[in-house]
Amino acid sequence: MKRSAISYLVLAVLLVVTVWIALTNGASHFSLLKMTATDANTLFNIRLPRIITALMAGAMLSVSGAFFQAALRNPIADPGIMGVSAGAALFAFVGALLLPSFFFGKVVFAFVGGALALGVLIFFQPQMDPYRLILIGVALNATFTGIASVFSSTSQVSLGTVTWLGCLTVTVLGILGLIGVVLVTNWGNYLKVSDEQLRSLGLSAGKLRLALLGLAVFLATTSTAVIGVIAFIGIIVPHVGRVLVGRDYRAVVPFAALAGAWLMLAVDTIGRLVIQPSEIPAATLLAIIGGPVLIFILAHKKGGARHVLSLIT
């Protein structure tokens, strides 16, 4: 309990400090107390929507990763490396081509693409251990990414391209999705036991799993439609959460939402500031961090898949 309280206190301080740095620093530096008209325009039309979007997307992707891990019983599952986000990005691109004046169409198409990728994963999941399922996801990711690159190499969206329309979209849909998350968070704990035990309690493991995956896909694809594919945050944050607040999903998920929001904003802010006037995309920095984390998880012990599964039970 003490460690959890300290973790949340540190997170709160980090969030406040990072938001302040993100608001006042960038290509131009200014004080919030002394702003010119140009500074105010930069703040309200460029930085503020970007910051809000980063916070929401970080929370959504981290919670999505936690739900993927619970539903698939695979603690290295993440929509960004298993093809779900790549499928969403490809279909969002198609949606933008077919309905260029209807921004929400991108979100709908993104969800369809993510759901398609998830369907492939669910088809293979009963036949494979967690490692092989990840390989299927990586193959899906490469396939969708390759198809998208054939049609366009300039259609990339990112936090740097966010407008108020995208910000409001991800915020409203993200809040709705996170409300749903609150209602079903404990189902992640139910899925720690076998399907047979759940049936003996009158619960359907398939329905629980489908509900968690549906919400996870909704959160991940909505974020992807607005800021593009962001990998590894859904692995990093839930694992840190299990260390700091325990393995109960009622504790892991709220921590993942807050920590994910901070981490996304932190890496985006660092990327904006280190090589001005250019930027390092948040996806690139998270890949630099997340790659070694994934290797550590896989190589931590020699227990193989049994050890991997034990991390979430």
What are the tens digits of pLDDT across the range 272-283?
999 888 899 999
Preceding amide of 75 cis, omega within 30: no
End-to-end CA distance of the chain: 20
- Compute the radius of gyration of the chain from its Cα atoms: 19
Instruction: Give the whole-angstrom CA distance, residue 79 versus residue 231.
Output: 7
Q: What is the pLDDT of residues 80-131, one digit of tens each?
A: 988 999 999 999 989 888 888 788 889 999 999 999 999 988 888 776 666 7
φ, ψ of residue 277 in degrees (nearest 5): -90, 0
Arithmetic mean of pLDDT over the chain: 88
Q: What is the mean pLDDT of residues 178-195?
A: 92
Convert the pLDDT of each residue in 21-52 to its tens digit. Answer: 999 998 888 888 888 888 889 999 999 999 99
Do residues 70 and 250 lie in contact, with contact meaning Cβ atoms separated by under 8 Å? no
How far is 216 from 12, CA to CA, in rounded Å? 25
pLDDT of residue 125: 73
Predicted model pTM:
0.91
